[in-house]
């Protein structure tokens, strides 16, 4: 099977990605196409589609998204397991999804990996690489294409690295126009682009937005820019437990071998290691919903939220734990 040439164009390409997926599917392996991939030291953006071809159980084809850096193939910065229904295509588009640890060497590699029915890796289906601008050998590439909406600035404001986060020392002024990518859960902050490959945030009161926005996704599979898309739980393999309303309390499983830490940052001490598919009790989350507090066999600590099977709705409804 010929490899798909990676093309980055300043247009929404999710549908294009699906249309150009290979017609011939490999035996016993999920089929994939990658439309665009951008990587930094702390986060990455990708437009990817997968098509289910082999029944690994219950009519689902299992796969893994993985991001590694140039240190070694096992220098995993992000890992996510998903299942796509056989005969179905799921396109996903995510901007600035955070790694579990900082990338330290180029090139950064995004891989779609086929899994067997037991969750074992059977081979890399497709990959794309990018040289992060924060590391030696940087790639100078245009802005990652995104959907979302249009942001017209109506009042001068500082810009922030996250909703109500750190002021990064820059401003936007009335009359400026930018791309609007995401909103926060209550719509009080808008994530925009200002000429780079990173999203910054401004108060919603300072901007007029054309087009409905969605909240930032917590995982790749089933993500997108359509309003409410990342708040829904309908994508096969991306749902969690619970009803999606009220406060989520209960048990779920982890999707990879993860470190249980004493706090919600990678600099906190490691308490223990939790094996993939282990059951944990979810207790709460941090403000940015990037980490969740869990109880694992009596040990209470923190793991990155994209390693647990919880829908974005349930994650948002978790109590904030300081």
- Domains annotated for the chain, with CATH where assigned, are 14-130 (2.60.40.2550), 149-210 (2.30.30.40), 240-317 (2.30.30.40)
CA 153 remoteness from chain centre:
27
Instruction: Label residue 235 left, alpha or beta by phi (over 0 means left) and psi (-120 to 50 means alpha).
Output: beta
Question: Which pLDDT belongs to residue 5?
Answer: 41
Instruction: Identify which of 97, 107, 96 has the alpha carbon closest to the alpha carbon of residue 138.
Output: 107
Instruction: Identify which of 278, 309, 318, 277 has the alpha carbon closest to the alpha carbon of residue 296.
Output: 278
E-assigned strand segments in 204-313: 207-210, 250-253, 258-261, 270-274, 279-285, 291-296, 299-304
Q: What is the pLDDT along the chain (322 residues), one digit of tens a residue?
A: 444 343 333 333 343 333 344 433 344 577 899 988 999 888 999 999 999 898 988 888 999 999 999 887 668 899 888 888 888 888 889 999 888 888 899 999 999 999 998 889 999 999 999 999 889 988 777 677 777 889 999 999 999 988 888 898 899 999 999 999 999 878 899 999 987 778 899 999 999 999 888 888 888 988 888 877 777 533 333 333 332 333 444 678 887 788 899 988 888 888 998 888 788 888 888 877 778 888 888 888 998 877 777 766 677 677 777 6
Question: Which pLDDT belongs to residue 26?
Answer: 42
Residues whose CB falls within 8 Å of the CB of residue 136, separated by 6 or more in sequence, listed in order: 106
> What phi and psi, each to the nearest 5 degrees, are found at residue 16?
-60, -40
Query: Quick check: 309 and 282 in contact, CB under 8 A?
Result: no
Helix (H, G, I), strand (E, B) or coil at 68: strand
């Amino acid at each position: 099977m010929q490899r798909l040439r990676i093309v980055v164009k300043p247009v929404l390409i999710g549908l294009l990605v699906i249309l150009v997926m290979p017609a011939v599917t490999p035996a016993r392996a999920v089929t994939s196409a990658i439309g665009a991939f951008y990587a930094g030291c702390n986060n990455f953006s990708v437009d990817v589609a997968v098509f289910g071809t082999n029944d690994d159980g219950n009519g689902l084809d299992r796969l893994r998204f993985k991001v590694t850096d140039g240190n070694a193939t096992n220098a995993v910065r992000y890992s996510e397991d998903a299942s796509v229904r056989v005969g179905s295509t799921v396109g996903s588009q995510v901007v600035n999804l955070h790694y579990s640890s900082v990338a330290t060497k180029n090139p950064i590699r995004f891989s779609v990996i086929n899994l067997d029915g037991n969750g074992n890796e059977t081979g890399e289906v497709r990959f794309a690489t990018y040289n992060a601008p924060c590391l030696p050998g940087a790639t100078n590439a245009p802005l990652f294409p995104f959907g979302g909406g249009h942001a017209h600035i109506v009042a001068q404001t500082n810009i922030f690295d996250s909703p109500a986060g750190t002021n990064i020392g820059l401003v936007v002024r009335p009359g400026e126009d930018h791309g609007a990518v995401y909103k926060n859960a209550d719509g009080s902050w808008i994530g925009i682009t200002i000429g780079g490959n990173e999203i910054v945030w401004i108060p919603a009161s300072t901007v007029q937005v054309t087009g409905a926005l969605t909240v930032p996704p917590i995982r790749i599979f089933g993500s997108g820019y359509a309003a409410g898309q990342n708040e829904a739980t309908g994508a096969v393999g991306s749902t969690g437990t619970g009803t999606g309303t009220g406060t989520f309390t209960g048990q779920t499983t982890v999707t990879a071998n993860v470190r249980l830490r004493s706090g919600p940052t990678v600099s906190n001490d490691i308490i223990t290691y939790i094996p993939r598919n282990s059951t944990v009790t979810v207790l709460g989350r941090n403000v940015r919903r990037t980490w969740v507090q869990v109880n694992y066999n009596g040990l209470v600590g923190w793991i990155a939220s994209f390693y647990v099977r919880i829908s974005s709705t349930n994650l948002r409804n978790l109590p904030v734990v300081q």
